[in-house]
Structure 1
Amino acid sequence: MNYIQKGLLFRLPENNKDFSITTFLDGLKDSLSATLTHFHPLAARLVTLKQQKPPSLTVFLNPENSPGARFIHSVVNLTVADILTPTDVPSVVHESFFDLNKAVNYDGHELPLLSIKVTELIDGIFVGCSMNHMVADGTSFWHFFNSWSEMFKSRSFNISRPPILDRWILAGSDQIITLPFTHENQYINRPDHPMLRERIFHFSSESLSKLKTKANSECNTTKISTLQSLSALVWRCVTRARRIPADGNTSCSLSVSNRSRISPPISENYLGNMVQRLKATTTAGELLDHGVGWAALQLHELVVSHNDKAIKKLMDVWVKGSLLVNTSVHFDRNGVHIGSSPRFDMYGNEFGLGKALAVLSGYANKFDGKVMSYPGREGGGSIDLEVCLLPENMAAFEADEEFMSIVNV
């Protein structure tokens, strides 16, 4: 998989005469350095140990090779309006606002595990972060980002939520997990996604409340969540936009953190990748013949069943089989994959610039049917969805009456 790439777009302070980009960059670098004293694994590199009998590979963080993170400053002749006004997310965001484009996790042997790119616009600043996805998931990514922002604001060396670096390992399994390969080329895959359209759709708390009520009433229950309702709606409408035959299979996958689901639970401060992908599958005909509540209930039951017993069973299978995620194989071409989370604190990171205008992502891990969920800027339970689709599918999707009826501009 590619690195995680997420960032925040800020407007320059209105009293621009008092703002110094040099002072701002120095503050970012100093606070980044201080934050890495806590998140020091992100300053390291990967190393692979090869064993002959039996032939196998083990990949781990090398504490003896920690040259640090990368920090880049660039300038573009664009305004905030150039980024936010177009219907689709402009390609310059993917091409210029993030470092380590197209890098895969394995590249962390030579490339930094963390790279910050600060792009100076005419009237704004974009702070983009690229982080190795083997080392961290979304929870850890935003934990780091939140800690960096806190460090920038306090100008101290202390943070309120130090990361937990001790490894969680399945009871009874080996401390060292080996991969059944003789050479890295047997499992390295470099995804190259097709030309996609990417749009960000906004949903107010009021629209989401109505959708959740509708989904629950259709199933005579109250247990379906807002995000499950919204994910189900997207699944239905993308499936319809693709014109999948009634007997054709379609799926909806959710990235779910295991931290709170393991017994005893693991702290949200655990630094690592504790995500597993859950997948609901049905036929296009069955999905569209039922209402949004039926689809939402499938997702709800999928999440509820992902408990301590199920997680540890999956972990045991993984440790024995050492499955590696390959985006070209593991993501269904007729499916939808929901990633990130509106529960992450994204807009709390201000870096002295005030509240960010938008959350944007880079090139990484994009494919037809990839959807990222973010908190809405105004808060209050609002949600933004970043949707990636092939152009012909997006055209049908954004004309779908069921979907657009709850979208707020």
Structure 2
Amino acid sequence: MTSIPLTPIDHIFTGVGSYPIEFVFAYGDTIDPDRLLASLQAATRHFVPVRSRLATVSDDTYALQESDEGVHFQLSESSATFGDPEARYSFLDPVNSVPGEPLTRIKLSQTPEGSVLGVSMSHAVADGFSYFFFLSSWARLFHGGAVIEPFNGRELLIPEPQARRDEVTTADVLSDSGIFWDERRRAIARDRIHWDRFHLSREQQSELLAEAGPDADARLSLNDVISAHLWKTYIAKWDGDDGEKTTYVSCPVDVRRIIKGFPRTYFGNAVGLATRSLERRALAEAPLGRLASIIRSAVASVDETYMRNALSTLEAMRLREGLTVLEENHVIHPRSGILITNLSRLPVQEIEFDAGPPVAFDILTPAARGAVVLPAADGADIRVCYPLEKY
């Protein structure tokens, strides 16, 4: 069985409190479970990390171990309806990214309105691009098509062996990688998570761009402006004047097109984290254009040099502190931060089996203090996840 080493970024998404990637897809008709399972087995022969378990290599290193029990498939009957947002968790079989557990869990629910497919995948296995690369390929194999072969190796993002550093500080980790080395993570309590769900029409997006323009220091993308709006709105909503003095915004950046010669079909976590801070009062008083410019500068700073330095520092931290330090690593500041992920170009319509393309979908990734921008017919759908006590 194949063993695949984890990169420093992959390691961050292991252990207690590490969140998986989770989506649910609703279909207007019934998917044949036997064909779905057969095509899943075919797909995982190409995407080996999907059928893996976490294996402990040493006191400072994990690996993905290929396993016949690495992907779990469940078929169920359900009277729940996808139209009820509170019922959507019932369509998931969540993974737990700890040694010995399957790192992919797939649940097919047959409901009176059609099938609902829930896919929970450890973030140590894949980033958002890889997650949908796998799902699209699975759908093609279901119909007898060919797939573009993924690049399953992780060595490209594993630093060369390095001397053990005398010291790696929390400040080093934050400045070099955008990761927060802070309090120990707690287990994800899904019954204590709240979701805000709302739509930003194209007209509303244009209004935000117009508001940001006069105060911008650089040419802004729509995502810069939406991210700035969410940063300002939700830090104030969650923490008011009672939170920590410094606030943080973090944005994942796909580096497949940034690192020279990097394979576009890389299957794993090819992401850098762009993080910036601002004092609470300054955040409240800053015009939208200035905040969007801060985010634009942060995203632009994630180049190959930044990424290599981030990987080196995270590797040094883990080798010095051991695996237990991973549960003290956060991609979102746990008390005064927000993570904003742009998924507005997801190929949702490609996740088509024998019931047509999805008629609806939702993200259920339990990343507290995380916001996601999703595709929608007239603009974008926004999802924001946070602990219930903040609601």
TM class by shorter chain equals: 0.7 to 0.9
The 1:332–1:44 alpha-carbon spacing in structure 2 relative to 1, beyond 3 Å, is closer
Matched, 1:389 2:378: no
What CA RMSD, in Å, does the superposition of the two structures yield over aligned residues? Answer: 2.9
Indicate the residue corresponding to 2:281 in structure 1: 285
Give the equivalent residue in structure 1 for 2:366. 365
Taking structure 1 as reference, are residues 340 and 66 closer, same or farther at Cα in structure 2, changes over 3 Å only?
farther
Rounded to whole Å, the distance in 1 between the matches of 2:372 and 2:331 is 20
Write the distance in 1 (CA, Å) between the matches of 2:210 and 2:216: 10
1:5 alignment partner, SS class: strand
Q: In 2 relative to 1, CA 239–190 (structure 1 residues): closer, same or farther, beyond 3 Å? A: closer
Cα-to-partner distance string for 1:357-407 (whole Å, 9 max, x where unaligned): 332233x5332x22122111x27xx2211112355755xxxxxxxxxxxxx
Does the aligned pair in 2 maintain the 1:49–1:58 contact within 8 Å?
A: yes
CA contact (8 A) 1:137 1:274 kept: yes
Percent identity of equivalent pairs: 24
Change (3 A) 1:247 1:62: closer
Which of 221, 224, 237 matches 1:225?
A: 221
Match of 1:162 in 2: 149
- In the alignment, is residue 121 of structure 1 matched against residue 123 of structure 2? no
The one-letter amino acid of 2:333's match is F
Q: What SS is found at the alignment partner of 2:46?
A: coil
**Structure 1, gaps ≥5 residues long:** 13-18, 51-55, 84-88, 181-186, 395-409
- Asked if 1:315 is matched to 2:311, the reply is yes
Residue aligning to 2:35: 27
Q: 1:327 to 1:200 in 2, by over 3 A?
A: farther
Give the equivalent residue in structure 2 for 1:62.
Answer: 65
Local SS of the residue matching 1:347: helix
1:75/1:121 contact within 8 Å kept: yes
CA distance in 2: counterparts of 1:97 and 1:309, whole angstroms: 41
Asked if the contact 2:332–2:339 (Cα under 8 Å) also holds between the matched residues in 1, the reply is no
Distance 2:88 2:102 in 1: 21
Deviation at 1:172, TM superposition (A): 6.2
Aligned runs of 1:132-211 on 2, under 5 Å?
132-152=122-142, 154-156=143-145, 158-159=146-147, 161-169=148-156, 173-174=160-161, 190-192=187-189, 195-211=192-208
Does the residue aligned with 2:120 lie in a helix, a strand or coil? strand
Partner of 1:48: 56
* Corresponding letter in the other structure for 2:92: F
Q: Deviations over 1:221-279 (max 9, x none)?
A: 4x2111111011011111232322598222211122222222x1423310111223222
Judge conservation of contact 2:372–2:383 (CA < 8 Å) in 1: yes
Query: In structure 1, how many angstroms separate the alpha carbons of the residues matched to 2:226 and 2:161?
Result: 40
Residue-pair matches, total: 348
Cα-to-partner distance string for 1:302-347 (whole Å, 9 max, x where unaligned) = 0111111111111111122226364679523122111352122223
Distance 1:332 1:265, change over 3 A: farther
Contact 1:79 1:124 in 2 (8 A): no
Structure 2: give runs of 5+ residues left out of the alignment.
1-17, 168-183, 319-324
Q: Which residue of 2 aligns with 1:86?
A: none
Q: 1:248 & 1:191 partners in 2: Cα distance? A: 26
The equivalent position to 2:94 in structure 1, one of 89, 100, 103, is 100
Residue identity in the other structure for 2:121:
M
1:353 match: secondary structure: coil
Flag the 1:171–1:246 CA change in 2: closer, same or farther, 3 A. closer
- Does 2:254 align with 1:237? no
1:406 maps to which residue? none
Q: Is the 8 A contact 2:28 2:359 kept in 1?
A: yes
* 1:77-88 aligned within 5 A: 77-81=79-83, 83=84
Shift of 1:208: 1.8
1:324 is paired with a residue whose SS is helix
Tell which deviates more after alignment, 291-300 or 212-221: 212-221
Deviation at 1:193, TM superposition (A): 6.1
Whether contact under 8 Å (1:97, 1:117) holds in the other structure is yes
Give the match's secondary structure for 1:144: helix
- Aligned counterparts of 1:122 and 1:231: Cα–Cα separation in 2: 38
Alpha-carbon distance in structure 2 between the residues aligned to 1:207 and 1:331: 29
1:399 corresponds in structure 2 to: none
Q: Distance in 2 between matches of 1:195 and 1:188?
A: 15
Q: Corresponding residue for 1:276?
A: 272
Distance 1:317 1:293, change over 3 A: same
TM-score (norm 1): 0.77
Alpha carbons of structure 1 residues 80 and 2: separation in structure 2 relative to 1, 3 Å: closer
Q: CA deviation at 1:197?
A: 2.3
CA contact (8 A) 2:193 2:366 kept: no
Deviation digits for residues 138-189 of structure 1 (CA, Å, limit 9, x no counterpart): 111111011112222x324x21x211123343586139x9xx9xxxxxx996
Instruction: Give the equivalent residue in structure 1 for 2:175.
Output: none
Alpha-carbon offset, residue 297 of structure 1: 0.6
State which drifts further: 193-202 or 35-44. Answer: 193-202
1:237, 1:290 → 2: CA distance?
A: 12
Q: Structure 2: which amino acid aligns with 1:43? A: R
Structure 1 distance, partners of 2:160, 2:77, is 49
